[in-house]
A and B are shown apart, each in its own frame.
Chain A
Amino acid sequence: MPMPRPSASTTYEKSRTSTRHPLALTIILSTALLALSPAQAANLTDNRRSGYAFMGPPLRAMQDDDMTNPASLWQRDGETLWAEPIGEAGRSCADCHGDAASSMRGVAARYPAFDRTMNRPIDLEQRINHCRTAYQKAGPLAFESHDLLALSTHVARQSRGLPIAIENSKALHPFLAMGRSLFHERQGQLNLSCAQCHDDNAGRSLGGATIPQAHPTGYPLYRLEWQGVGSLQRRLRNCMSGMRAAPYAFGAEAFVDLELYLMWRANGMPMESPAVRP
């Protein structure tokens, strides 16, 4: 059953062709570097810090307590949606998956994951939409819609405290390599790369905002700036706009590759979803 594709992703395909060749080269070079086990990756990166470590005590407290964490509202909505029979199939998530606390435990910690029908990695939002379309016959939820964020928050909450565990599978390597080269490629009118801020200048002040290391430990999360819950892709779009780069469309392959690389880079770090960030 094919995945629902956001219409805008075709624009991305077009715009990417111009950069395909240099990227393809980088992939060949960096696939070799990526052949590390998650354990090795963790050993190499002892100095990794979650965005949590860069926040002050009030925000940490807000995240830690379900009573004050605003994302709890989204999670509770997700819990309700989980049990609602919908679509032509008239089935609920719970009909097939039972209690999320056990069936979804650790699932978000290993997404994006390779999907055989798509022959490429898909992220948690796409995975949920796949169940909606294929099994509930209900059609996909829009990216960043309240219901999709509610469901993904509910699912991701079941991984809280568990280590990020992107599978070290050969099938993922080309996509990891693509994500890695996107992370290191300069882009936008300001001609900056993600790595120049998040690897080279983490902990410094970008006009007053502390630059974190960009570990995606807490998504979906509540961001004060948004006054709402958003996905990792929404966060990445914010950074791309800051670089004055054209953000990829929600669901674009480049985004999933970047998400995959970021999660792989954070392998072994504990999940915080749903986190709170400034």
Chain B
Amino acid sequence: MPKAGSRRSRRRFSVEAFVLLPMALAGTVALAEPPLQPYAVVGDSIPRPLTGQPGDPDAGRRIVADRQEGLCLLCHSGPFPEQPLQGDLAPALDGAGERWSSGQLRLRIVDARRVSPGTIMPSYYRTQGLVQVAPAFVGRPILTAEQIEDVVAYLATLRR
């Protein structure tokens, strides 16, 4: 019989691997998710931080690189030498802080459909208008307001 294990150990994660951790967390913490913070869109940007204060770029880097939390590397690549498995469904994140202002980055993460209606990039700060959502994620945005600010702060540091 084949040595399935040897292949498996080299294996890259698969789609379902992304859900296991958040599912487990959802079962234990977060009994009631606070309602979403209101935000104002100006042009193609959300100029003001969702939390009223700037985020932490180091925490943001961790979220972006984390396959269960940010999920960004499912679709994007970026400057993460420690992550050999990255996606190619979307532009590389390198230089994002040069291409976009913090406000523009914020809108692209909060609700990418606003700038690109048919996009596959999920709206990270949205709970309405979704169908067949798994119970663990109902009423919860993909990232919290704090996490989004951390991600924006990190992306703003990405200059070539």
Task: Decide yes or no: A188 and B134 within 8 Å by CB, A59-B7, A205-B86, A206-B87 being known contacts.
Answer: yes
Contact stretch, chosen from A35-43, A89-97, A234-242:
A234-242
Task: Give a binary string over B1-39; 1 marks a CB under 8 Å from any A CB, 0 the rest.
Answer: 110100110011111101100100000000000000000
Residues of A within 8 A of B67 (CB): 207
Which stretch (A125-133, A152-160, A167-175, A190-198) binds chain B? A190-198
Interface size range on B against A: 35 or more
* Residues of B contacting A192 in the complex (Cβ-Cβ under 8 angstroms): 120, 122
Cβ-based interface call for A208 (8 A): yes
Contact with B along A179-199 (1 / 0, CB 8 A): 000000111111110001100
Instruction: State whether the Cβ of A62 lies closer than 8 Å to any Cβ in chain B.
Output: yes
In the bound complex, residues from chain B placing their C-beta under 8 Å from that of A8 are none
- Asked whether B87 lies within 8 Å of A205 as measured between CB atoms, the reply is yes
Instruction: Say yes or no: is A246 at the interface (Cβ < 8 Å to chain B).
Output: yes
Contacts of B136 in A (CB 8 A): 244
Which residues of chain B are within 8 angstroms of A209 by Cβ–Cβ distance?
A: 12-15
**Quick check: is B123 within 8 A (CB to CB) of the other chain?**
yes
B134 and A246 contacting across the interface, CB-CB below 8 Å? yes
- Whether the pair A19, B131 counts as a contact (CB closer than 8 A) is yes
Most buried by A among B84, B136, B137: B137
- Chain B residues contacting A138 (CB-CB under 8 Å) are none
Chain B residue nearest to A18 in the complex (CB): B131
A residues near B142, Cβ cutoff 8 Å: 189-190
Number of interface residues of A (CB under 8 A): 41
| Alpha-carbon distance A207/B66, docked complex (angstroms) | 11
Contact for A227 among B4, B12, B22, B88, CB less than 8 A: B4
Is B107 close to A, CB under 8 A?
Answer: no
Q: Are B88 and A205 in contact (CB under 8 A)?
A: yes
Shortest beta-carbon distance from A198 to chain B in Å: 11
Q: Check A2 for interface membership: any CB of B closer than 8 A.
A: no
Partner of B133 from A189, A201, A207 at Cβ < 8 Å? A189
Which one of A68, A69, A185, A196 contacts B120 once the chains associate, using CB atoms below 8 Å? A196
With A19-B131, A58-B7, A190-B142 as contacts: A241 and B1 at CB distance below 8 Å: no
Q: How far, in angstroms, from A207 to B18 measured CA to CA in the complex?
A: 10
Interface flag for B42 (CB, 8 Å):
no
Q: List 27 A-B contacts (CB under 8 A).
A: A19-B131, A69-B2, A70-B4, A73-B1, A185-B131, A187-B133, A188-B132, A188-B134, A188-B137, A189-B130, A190-B71, A191-B122, A191-B123, A192-B122, A204-B87, A207-B74, A208-B86, A208-B87, A209-B13, A224-B4, A224-B8, A225-B8, A225-B11, A241-B15, A241-B134, A246-B133, A278-B11
Q: Can you name 6 extra interface pairs (CB under 8 A) apart from A62-B2, A208-B85?
A: A19-B132, A189-B122, A189-B130, A207-B18, A208-B87, A209-B15
